[in-house]
């Protein structure tokens, strides 16, 4: 299963592109870059603190919960997401309790708003606490080496985490079926997860209100919102 922003649309997660994605007239392309963080880490953290607050108030919808139950039900079911909102994980906690088996955890190809990573030693950790971005002095620092922490998300111009990529493409190559939901499938390498699965003979099922870059390859296209189509597809 490959998911994108559309699966979280009905949870109210603001979109990245267009007017709604703007913050104080700044575009994400000007803030979500390593150069922006180097230039002004306080400003970048202020933006992420705001995003964490807004997204942190969103709850998993019927599609996230259905996907969580589906992935918990049997081994060999992999969820690969481009979303950084953490809602697949929240849904797993809601559906299955605190002990989420590692195999059921989503592969978060673009990282997570609710994880931080040390710019020097690379150590990652979950981070739900509010960030104080009022001055550079109050920004979060690594508990191990003291260097600045950054959001553990993939920024423009950065490569994806090689381990996450390998796991996603490994699952795609072995898949009998691949459900693609809520993504325009124009951002690579994420979208290639679906094309690799299709090339290896998997049945490709796409779910979303509009045609996408993957429509010509799809065996089945379900033109509906995720919260309606996904429970019907996975649990009927
Ligand atoms: P997009 O915003 O490009 O595409 C969202 C897709 O969801 C569109 O095809 C919509 O038609 C569809 N959609 C909208 N509402 C829906 C609903 N209720 N149910 C199902 N589908 C719905 O988002 P992504 O493809 O996820 O990358 O974008 C991919 C990447 O582009 C993001 O992860 C981000 C961005 O650059 C990074 O930040 C690295």
CB count within 10 Å of CB 234 equals 17
Closest CA to 55 of 14, 1, 88: 14
Q: How far apart are CA 54 and CA 48, in angstroms?
A: 10
Q: Which residues contact 108 (CB under 8 A, 6 or more apart)?
A: 81, 83, 84, 86, 88, 164
The answer for residues whose C-beta is within 8 angstroms of residue 84's C-beta and 6 or more apart is 108, 110, 111, 112, 113, 153
Which atom of ligand 1 has the smallest separation from the CA of 32? 38
**Ligand 1 centroid to residue 53 C-alpha, Å:** 21
Adjacent-strand bridge partners of 108? 81
| Res 21: pLDDT | 65
Residues in the chain, pLDDT under 70: 16-22
pLDDT in tens, 18-39: 666 667 778 888 899 999 999 9
**Atom nearest to 17 CA in ligand 1:** 2
Which phi-psi region, left, alpha or beta, contains residue 175 (left: φ > 0; alpha: ψ -120 to 50)?
A: beta
Give pLDDT, residue 98.
Answer: 84
Give catalytic residues, as residue numbers: 110
Alpha helices in the chain (DSSP H): 6-9, 28-31, 34-39, 41-56, 62-73, 87-96, 162-174, 192-199, 226-235
107-152 pLDDT per residue, tens: 999 999 999 999 999 999 999 999 999 999 999 999 999 999 999 9
Instruction: State the pLDDT at residue 96.
Output: 85
Of 33, 205, 208, 212, which is best to mutate to test ligand 1, by the most ligand atoms within 8 angstroms of its C-beta? 208
The angle formed by the CA atoms of residues 21, 26 and 28, to the nearest 5 degrees, is 50
List pocket residues of ligand 1, CB cut-off 6 Å: 4-6, 9-10, 15-17, 82, 110, 154, 181-184, 187, 208-210, 212, 225-226
Q: What is the pTM of this model?
A: 0.96
């Amino acid at each position: 299963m490959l998911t994108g922003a559309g699966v979280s649309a009905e949870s109210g997660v603001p979109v990245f592109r267009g007017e709604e994605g703007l913050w104080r007239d700044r575009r994400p392309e000007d803030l979500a870059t390593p150069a922006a963080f180097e230039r002004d880490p306080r400003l970048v953290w202020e933006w992420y603190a705001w995003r964490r607050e807004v997204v942190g108030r969103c709850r998993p919808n019927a599609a996230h919960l259905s996907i969580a139950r589906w992935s918990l039900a049997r081994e060999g079911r992999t969820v690969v997401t481009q979303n950084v909102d953490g809602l697949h994980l929240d849904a797993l906690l809601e559906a299955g309790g605190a002990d989420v088996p590692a195999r059921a955890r989503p592969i978060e190809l673009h990282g997570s708003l609710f994880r931080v990573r040390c710019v020097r030693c690379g150590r990652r950790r979950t981070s739900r606490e509010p960030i104080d971005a009022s001055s550079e002095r109050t920004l979060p620092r690594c508990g191990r080496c003291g260097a600045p922490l950054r959001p553990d998300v993939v920024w423009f111009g950065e490569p994806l985490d090689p381990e996450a990529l390998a796991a996603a493409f490994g699952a795609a190559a072995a898949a009998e079926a691949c459900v693609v939901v809520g993504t325009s499938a124009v951002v690579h390498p994420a979208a290639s997860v679906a094309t690799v699965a299709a090339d290896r003979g998997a049945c490709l099922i796409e779910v979303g209100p509009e045609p996408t870059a993957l429509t010509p390859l799809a065996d089945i296209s379900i033109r509906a919102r995720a919260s309606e189509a996904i429970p019907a597809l996975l649990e009927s």
